[in-house]
Amino acid sequence: MNIDASWWVAVAWLGILGVATTGYFIHLVRRSDYGYWESCLYLPTYLMGRLVWRVHFTNNPPPALSSGAILVANHRSSVDPFFVQLAARRRVHWMVAKEYCDHFLFGLILKAVQAIPTNRNGMDTASTKAAMRLTKEGRLVGMFPEGRLNHTSNPLISIRSGAAAVAIRSGVPIIPLYIDGSPYRRTVWSPLFMAAHVGITFGRPIYPAEYQDNAEGYAASDAMILAWAQELLKLANQPDFPVQLSAKRRRVRDSITRT
């Protein structure tokens, strides 16, 4: 049976692609701080990001990204952590709701990527201490101050100041990232089947030095997270949008002020 030459060309290209993929995977494991299973998860994320979601960066990352910091972004899609991971180009430790970490499937994945379980119902001292320890060690922690997906037309919904509190206590900067064009359609799985054109812009790092001397810790973290919001709104070309702290956060702050 004669085999057409084009068939051999296709086989050769598949072989080259396989070798290139394997080579990239080995390079990723050897030259980065990713573990084996993290690398297995990162490779498809990278391919999806480049080929399906067409992730691009509108400016260069700040030097602060090479040391301990809190990466803080807006949140419109379940795959936003992937985009932040691509921007960081090294391991990002995410603070993830404990119920997901306990899930029979998600829990294994989150454990592999060294996520930080956290309690969404109130102040979680253990997760806060874990985030502080990691940033002091020069690592990156990722957080979304909105706390949930923003399904509105506004650039931001109400925000919480947990990211700023960790930054102030750790003495590390907040690095704003504005994510534009995140895919989402009703379910957390929908972005995996949607093409997109995602743009990521790095904002000016916000350092805690001017806030951590404030006598009232909660007022300091509120001021710092609002500074993050103002920077993000500039990146979104909506600098006059009136961002607010979440009602729950305001109640905590007010109760402390009265005591």
Residue 5 has pLDDT above 90, yes or no: no
Residue 243 included in any domain: yes
36 DSSP assignment: H
Tell me the two tokens of residue 4. 């057409």
Side chain identity at residue 20, one-letter code: A
Q: In total, how many domains does the chain have?
A: 1
Sequence-separated (6 or more) residues with CB below 8 Å from residue 42: 28, 34, 85
Pick 108 or 255 by higher pLDDT: 108
Q: Is residue 10 part of a domain?
A: no
CB atoms within 10 A of CB 10: 11
Q: Decide: 164 and 221 in contact? Cβ < 8 Å.
A: yes
**Per-residue pLDDT at 19:** 78
State the angle between helix axes of 162-170 and 217-235 in degrees (0 to 180), rounded to the nearest 10: 110
Q: Could you tell me the CA-to-CA distances from 8 to 3, 15, 16, 22, 126 in Å, in that order? A: 8, 10, 12, 21, 58
Res 91 pLDDT > 70: yes
Q: Is 118 helix (H, G, I), strand (E, B) or coil?
A: strand
| pLDDT at residue 37, as a whole number | 66
Question: Taking Cα atoms as reference points, which of 143, 141, 127 lies closest to residue 67?
Answer: 141
In this predicted model, which residue has the larger pLDDT, 146 or 113?
A: 146
Domain, as residue range, for 101: 54-258
Query: pLDDT of 115-159, one tens digit each?
Result: 787 776 655 678 888 889 999 999 999 999 998 899 999 999 999
The pLDDT of residue 105 is: 65
For residue 129, the tally of other CB atoms under 10 A from its CB is: 13
In a domain, 196, yes or no: yes
Predicted confidence (pLDDT) per residue in 225-244, tens digit: 999 999 999 999 999 999 99
What pLDDT digit, counting tens, does each position of 18-36 carry? Answer: 777 677 666 655 656 666 6
In a domain, 34, yes or no: no
Nearest residue to 164 via CA among 248, 93, 222: 222
Give the pLDDT confidence score for residue 257 in this predicted structure.
36
* 3-state SS, residue 230: helix
Query: Is 75's pLDDT higher than 50?
Result: yes
126 or 52: which carries more pLDDT confidence? Answer: 52
In the block, residue with structure tokens 């001017």: 210
Type of residue at 138: G
Q: Is residue 123 assigned to a domain?
A: yes
**Mean per-residue pLDDT of the chain:** 82
In a domain, 182, yes or no: yes
Higher pLDDT among residues 117 and 197, named by residue: 197
Residue 194 within a domain = yes
- Amino acid 198: pLDDT: 96
Task: Tell whether 26 is covered by a domain.
Answer: no
Q: pLDDT class for 215, splitting at 50, 70, 90?
A: very low
